[in-house]
Amino acid sequence: MKKKKIKKKKEFNVKGYIFGALRKIWRWHPVRRQILALAKVNGCNLVGDWFACAKCDQIFPKKQVQVDHIKPVIDPAAGFTTWDSVIEAMLNVTLDDVQILCFDCHRLKTNTENELRRKYGTGHTSRRK
């Protein structure tokens, strides 16, 4: 008789869980909705909602753009400090603090921030592909 392999339970990642919850809150944030409305390209003959990327000035469908915090939520030089600072940086924003970026421009910005995190030895440093 074969023994069943017992799967080792993954350790509960509190930090990841809280970040996920904050991202969910951010999806419904009034400023996020306002910047999407402002970046919407009107008058183009394309079906659906299209948005202009703040970096490359090309237009993309809604599924290919992201609302980006211009100043990183977690400073690459300082790394994670407190939940209060994360919540403040993520949710206490104005239209001047966010921009619409296409996936490629957002990936380049994120990778640059992660390079700084590696340089300073702070925080999350995975590379997005």
pLDDT value of position 57:
94
Q: What percent of the chain shows pLDDT beyond 90? A: 71
Q: Indicate if the pLDDT at residue 129 is higher than 60.
A: no
Task: Specify whether the CB–CB gap between 50 and 61 falls below 8 A.
Answer: yes
How would you class 65 by CB atoms within 10 Å of its CB: exposed for 0-12, middle for 13-18, buried for 19 or more?
A: buried
> Which helix (DSSP H) or strand (DSSP E) does residue 89 occupy?
helix 83-91
pLDDT 10s digits, 38-81: 999 987 667 788 999 999 999 999 999 999 999 999 999 999 99
Q: What is the pTM of this model?
A: 0.81
Average pLDDT over residues 4-24: 86
Average pLDDT over residues 2-6: 72
Average pLDDT over residues 95-101: 97
pLDDT 10s digits, 115-125: 999 999 886 65
Percent helix, strand and coil across the chain, each to the nearest 5: 45, 15, 45
Average pLDDT over residues 85-110: 97
3-state secondary structure of 3: coil
pLDDT value of position 125:
53
Task: Specify whether the CB–CB gap between 50 and 59 falls below 8 A.
Answer: yes
Average pLDDT, the chain: 89
